[in-house]
């Protein structure tokens, strides 16, 4: 996308899950800001319609290295909800939830969904481990940029207020004592507790559902904060886009993709020396708790 001109002068961005929804919108807007965008997608057919199809994170890094020698912006956008839904036709569903507020809509999605263990595992693997794998592979290339930025698309659901257990909440908020290894352990512990029926007992965010999704985003947020601390020369932030009309929300969000992409764009295009290790609620800085 926008792959013209002198490559060395242009900024280069990678957006994961760029074939639809918010990711596609971020790709479009970055490209229209003159940035060379490498859109990554796992679905070959959909990805081919847009631009490049890249396999795993290492192959992606090799490709970027060979083609551009550096990376300026990484937008970690790809994610799943960790739920199986029976909502088939989004138009019918839109009628069903017409007039409801956001909380009621999210609740209605949940009522039509289940959260089996397999999906929880997949959710942690995609939203946390996947983000980490892509980030790790591309980090050296971001360090080759004079202004490397990582935008982790998060969610309000990743805020620590949803955890009922004080110990877990404090541990995930105490960035100075956290390590990536401990985050991996917590991810495993969550899945174990899920299997053993210990979610509530441990204080994972069970109320209101979206359990694995909330945990995956909370752990990803903590990872983002650790990384920002370790790499002060980069700008690394998390962004909640709002409740956006995409497939993930069955198109019943209150924001268009253009509106939802604003915060991510703000962080992706922020000048050097801006915020790092932070969280944006749409376009406003907000706490992780």
Q: Which residues bind ligand NAP (CB under 6 A)?
A: 17, 19-23, 41-43, 46, 77-80, 126, 130, 153, 155, 240-241, 243-244, 246-249, 253
Pick the closest to residue 1 from 23, 261, 223 (CA basis): 23
The yes-or-no answer on residue 117 being catalytic is no
Distance, CA of 41 to CA of 172 (rounded, Å): 30
In the complex, residue closest to ligand NAP by CB: 21
Question: In this complex, which beta carbon is closest to ligand NAP, that of residue 51 or of residue 202?
Answer: 51
Distance, CA of 58 to CA of 49 (rounded, Å): 23
- Backbone phi and psi for residue 152, each to the nearest 5 degrees, phi listed first: -95, 115
Question: In this complex, which beta carbon is closest to ligand NAP, that of residue 249 or of residue 276?
Answer: 249
Question: In this complex, which beta carbon is closest to ligand NAP, that of residue 226 or of residue 252?
Answer: 252
Question: In this complex, which beta carbon is closest to ligand NAP, that of residue 70 or of residue 214?
Answer: 214
User: In the numeric block, which tokens belong to residue 215?
Assistant: 């945990």
| Least separation in angstroms between CB 245 and ligand NAP | 7
Question: In this complex, which beta carbon is closest to ligand NAP, that of residue 130 or of residue 205?
Answer: 130
Which 3 state secondary structure label does DSSP give 13?
Answer: strand
| Least separation in angstroms between CB 177 and ligand NAP | 27
Q: Is the Cβ–Cβ distance between 279 and 286 less than 8 Å?
A: yes
Pick the closest to residue 150 from 139, 166, 161 (CA basis): 139
| Least separation in angstroms between CB 41 and ligand NAP | 6
Which 3 state secondary structure label does DSSP give 180?
Answer: helix
| Least separation in angstroms between CB 154 and ligand NAP | 7
Pick the closest to residue 151 from 17, 32, 20 (CA basis): 17
Distance, CA of 35 to CA of 120 (rounded, Å): 35
Q: Is the Cβ–Cβ distance between 152 and 111 less than 8 Å?
A: no
Catalytic residue among 128, 210, 213, 223: 213
The CA-to-CA distance between both ends of the chain, in Å, stands at 37
| Least separation in angstroms between CB 281 and ligand NAP | 11
Distance, CA of 137 to CA of 139 (rounded, Å): 6
The catalytic residue positions are 213
């Amino acid at each position: 996308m926008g792959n013209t001109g002198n490559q060395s002068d242009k900024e280069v961005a990678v957006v994961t899950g760029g074939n639809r929804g918010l990711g596609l919108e971020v790709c479009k807007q970055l490209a229209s800001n003159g940035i060379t965008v490498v859109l990554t997608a796992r679905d070959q057919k959909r990805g081919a319609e847009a631009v490049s199809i890249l396999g795993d994170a290492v192959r992606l890094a090799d490709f970027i290295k060979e083609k551009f020698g550096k990376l300026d912006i990484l937008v970690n956008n790809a994610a799943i909800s960790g739920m199986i839904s029976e909502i088939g036709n989004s138009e019918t569903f839109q009628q069903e939830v017409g007039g409801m507020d956001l909380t009621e809509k999210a609740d209605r999605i949940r009522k039509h969904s289940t959260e089996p263990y397999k999906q929880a595992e997949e959710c942690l693997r995609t939203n946390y481990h996947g983000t980490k794998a892509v980030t790790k592979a591309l980090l050296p290339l971001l360090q080759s940029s004079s202004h490397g930025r990582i935008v982790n698309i998060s969610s309000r659901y990743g805020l620590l207020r949803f955890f009922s257990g004080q110990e877990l909440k404090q541990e995930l908020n105490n960035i100075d004592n956290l390590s990536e290894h401990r985050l991996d352990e917590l991810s495993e512990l969550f899945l174990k507790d899920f299997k053993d029926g210990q979610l509530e007992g441990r204080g994972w965010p069970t109320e209101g559902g979206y359990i694995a999704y909330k945990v995956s985003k909370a752990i990803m947020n903590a990872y983002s904060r650790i990384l920002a601390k370790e790499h002060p020369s980069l700008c690394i932030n998390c962004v909640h886009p709002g409740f956006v009309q995409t497939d993930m929300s069955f198109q019943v969000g209150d924001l268009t993709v253009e509106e939802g992409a604003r915060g991510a764009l703000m962080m992706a295009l922020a000048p050097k020396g801006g915020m790092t290790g932070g969280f944006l609620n749409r376009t406003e800085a907000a706490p992780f708790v």
